[in-house]
Amino acid sequence: MKKEHYYTPSSSASTTSGWTAGRRRFADWLPWKLFQDQMNPDKANHGWFIGRYARECLHILPKLPAALKWPVAPTSVLEWHQVDESLREPGIYYGYRPEVSSWTECCHSLFTANNETLNFWTHFFPTVFFIWRTVQLADQWNSKSDGLSSDYAQPFLIYMFSAILYPLMSAIAHGFSALSHRARAVLFFMDYAAINFYAYGSGLLYRAYVLPDSWMQMDANIYLGMCVFLSLASTTLTCTSRAIVRDVVAQRLMRLAAFTLPYIWVSIPLFVRLFDCFRYVEASSSCPTADALRATKLHLCQVIVALLASFCYASHLPERILPGKFDYVGHSHNLLHICGVTATLFQMEGALIDMDVRRSHLIENQLAMMDPFWDQWIPLVVLLGHVLLVAVFGLYIYWNEPQTIPTCNQNKKCH
C-alpha cells in the first residue's frame, strides 16, 4: 500500500513569522507606481510589466502556505486508484482532491499542492489582468472627445467581457469542483458556456476590426448568425458529454469537436487574411502598412498558440510519456491554460492595432459595425441562452445524479 500524502499544517510560530515576512515582502513589491505607469500610454510596457509581475509572484507564492493559517484540519490528497474512474486523468497518478470537500477546504487546497492548484492560478491571474486592461482601455476611450469612440469601441468591450468571463469561470470550476459530484458537473457546465460565449465575442471582434475588406463587405448576418448558432450548439454538446455520455473517450472527443468547430468558423476569414498577407506582403490589401503587418503577425501568433493549446488538450502530453512526473506542475491542462490566455493576449493586442489603424478606413467606407443589434442585443441573448442551458443541464444532474460517487476502498482499485 502506498503512503498517503497529507497537507502539513504550519506551527503557530512559523505561521506568525511567515505572515510577517509575507506582509513585508508584499509591501515591498506591490507595484502601485508600476500600475500608474501602465495607465500612461507613453510609459506603458506590457511585456516588461507581465514579466516583472510573474517574477514577483514566483517569489511570494511559495511563502503563502506558511504565511496563512487556515481553520481546517489537514486534508489528504488521493492517488488515482482511490478516486472514481470519471475523475481520473491520463498519466496523473497523485494529487487528487477528495470528491466531497467543504468550501473552506477547497479554498485551502488552492494554496497547497494538488493537481488543480495551478489550474486555478493560471486562469485567476489572467482574469485580474484582463479586468485591469479593460478598465485602462475604457478610460482611454472615454477621455476622447470624438463622439464615435464609444460606438466604435462597443464590440471590443463585449469581446473583453467574454475574455474576462471564460478564465474566471474556469478558475472557479477548477477551484471548487471538489464540493460534490453535482457541483463539479454544474461548475464545468458554466466553464463550457463561458468558453463558447468567448467564441461569439471573438467572432464579433473579428467582424468589427480584423477581417479583410472583402469579408467586411459581406452581410454580417451570415457570419455572426452562424457564430451565435455554433456558440449555443457547442455548449449543448459539451454539457451533454458530461451529463449523459459515460464513455470517457467519447466525452473528450465530443468536447474537442465542440470547441474546435466554432474556432474554425470564427477564424476562416482570419486564415484568409493571413494567407493573403504573408503570401504577397508588399502588394497585399490585407497588409497595406507596417502597422497592419504587425497586427497580422500577432494574429498569426494567436493561431499558432491556439493550435498548441488544442494539441495539449487532445494529446495529454507530457504526462502520457512520463506518467506520475507531471502530477502537480506541467501537465497538459496547465499548458492548455497558459497557451489559451497567451493566445487571447495576442488576439487582443493584434485587434487593438487593427482597431486603431483601420478606424478611418472602416468608418469612411461604412464597414464599421455601428448597428447595436449585433454588439448589444445579441450578446445579451447569447449570454441568456447559455445561462438557460446551464440551468437545464444542472436540473438534469440534480434529478438524475447522486450527490457523491460511491467511493472505493483505498486498498483496492476501482473498476
User: Which residues does the annotation place in the binding site?
Assistant: 174, 333, 337
**Which sign does the torsion angle of CA 337, 197, 39, 289 carry?**
positive
Task: Give the Cα separation of 276 and 292 in Å (integer).
Answer: 12
Residue 414 burial (C-beta neighbours within 10 Å; 0-12, 13-18, 19+): middle
Annotated binding residues for Zn(2+), written as ranges, equal: 174, 333, 337
Of the CA atoms within 13 Å of residue 62, those in its CB half-sphere come to 4
Residue matched to cell numbers 489537514: 74
Q: How far apart are CA 109 and CA 117, in angstroms?
A: 7
- Joined together, the cell numbers standing for residue 103 give 468550501
